[in-house]
Amino acid sequence: MMTIGLTYDLRSEYIAMGYSEDETAEFDREETILAIESTLQLLGYQTERIGHAGQLMKRLLQGSSWDLVFNIAEGLYGFGREALVPALLDAYRIPYTFSDPMVMALTLHKAMTKHVIRNLGIPTPDFALVETEDDIGQIHIPFPLFAKPVSEGTGKGISSASKINNQTELSTVCRRLLTQFKQPVLLEKFLPGREFTVGIFKTGKEATAIGVMEIFLKGEKDSVAYSLNNKEHYERFVEYRLVNDPTAQMAGEVALAAWRGLGCRDAGRIDLRVDNNGIPNFIEVNPLAGIRPVHSDLCILCDFVGISYTEMIKTIVDSAATRINHGFISQDRVYPVHGAT
**CATH number for 260:** 3.30.470.20
**The pLDDT of residue 326:** 39
**The pLDDT of residue 284:** 97
Mention every residue, 6+ apart, whose C-beta is less than 8 A from residue 64: none
Q: Rounded distance, CA 266 to CA 97, Å? A: 7
**The pLDDT of residue 234:** 55
> 171 exposed, middle or buried (CB, 10 Å; 0-12, 13-18, 19+)?
middle
Same domain, 174 and 214: no
Amino acid code (one letter) for 124: T
Kindly report whether the peptide bond that precedes residue 287 is cis, defined as omega within 30 degrees of 0. no
Beta bridge partners of 197: 213, 271
Q: Rounded distance, CA 114 to CA 111, Å? A: 5
φ/ψ (deg, to 5) at 199: -90, 135
Asked, for residue 112, whether it belongs to a domain, the answer is no
> 195 exposed, middle or buried (CB, 10 Å; 0-12, 13-18, 19+)?
buried
For residue 83, what are the domain limits? Answer: 3-98+326-335
Asked, for residue 108, whether it belongs to a domain, the answer is no
Same domain, 171 and 209: no
Asked, for residue 213, whether it belongs to a domain, the answer is yes
Mention every residue, 6+ apart, whose C-beta is less than 8 A from residue 336: 324, 325, 326, 327, 328
Q: Rounded distance, CA 97 to CA 288, Å? A: 10
**The pLDDT of residue 334:** 37
Checking DSSP bridges between strand 3-7 and strand 46-51, what pairing results, if any? Answer: parallel
Enumerate residue ranges in the chain where pLDDT < 70.
219-236, 325-341
Same domain, 178 and 294: no
Q: Rounded distance, CA 247 to CA 243, Å? A: 9
User: Could you report the per-residue pLDDT of 174-219, keeping only the tens digit for each?
Assistant: 999 999 999 999 999 999 999 999 999 999 999 999 999 999 988 6
Checking DSSP bridges between strand 185-189 and strand 127-130, what pairing results, if any? Answer: antiparallel
**The pLDDT of residue 222:** 47
Q: Which of 140, 158, 189 is the last residue of a domain?
A: 189
Q: Which of 136, 171, 189 is the last residue of a domain?
A: 189
SS3 state at 298: helix
Same domain, 163 and 196: no
Same domain, 223 and 251: yes
Q: Rounded distance, CA 251 to CA 273, Å? A: 8
Same domain, 309 and 201: yes
Q: Rounded distance, CA 136 to CA 41, Å? A: 52
Closest CA to 221 of 233, 213, 239: 233
Handedness of CA 148, 112, 300, 196 (dihedral sign): positive
Asked, for residue 341, whether it belongs to a domain, the answer is no
Biggest CA-to-CA distance, the chain: 64
Asked, for residue 283, whether it belongs to a domain, the answer is yes
CATH of the domain at 131: 3.30.1490.20
Total domains present in the chain: 3
Same domain, 74 and 146: no
**The pLDDT of residue 220:** 58
Measured in whole angstroms, the distance separating CA 71 from the mean position of its chain's CA atoms is 13
Same domain, 131 and 32: no
Asked, for residue 173, whether it belongs to a domain, the answer is yes
Cβ atoms of 51 and 7 within 8 Å: the answer is yes
Same domain, 221 and 245: yes
Asked, for residue 185, whether it belongs to a domain, the answer is yes
Beta bridge partners of 270: 198, 285
Asked, for residue 49, whether it belongs to a domain, the answer is yes
How many residues can be counted in the chain? Answer: 341
Same domain, 21 and 71: yes
Same domain, 313 and 200: yes
Q: Rounded distance, CA 83 to CA 46, Å? A: 25
Q: Which of 166, 189, 212 is the last residue of a domain?
A: 189
Same domain, 183 and 209: no
Amino acid code (one letter) for 168: T
CATH of the domain at 19: 3.40.50.20
Q: Rounded distance, CA 340 to CA 327, Å? A: 5
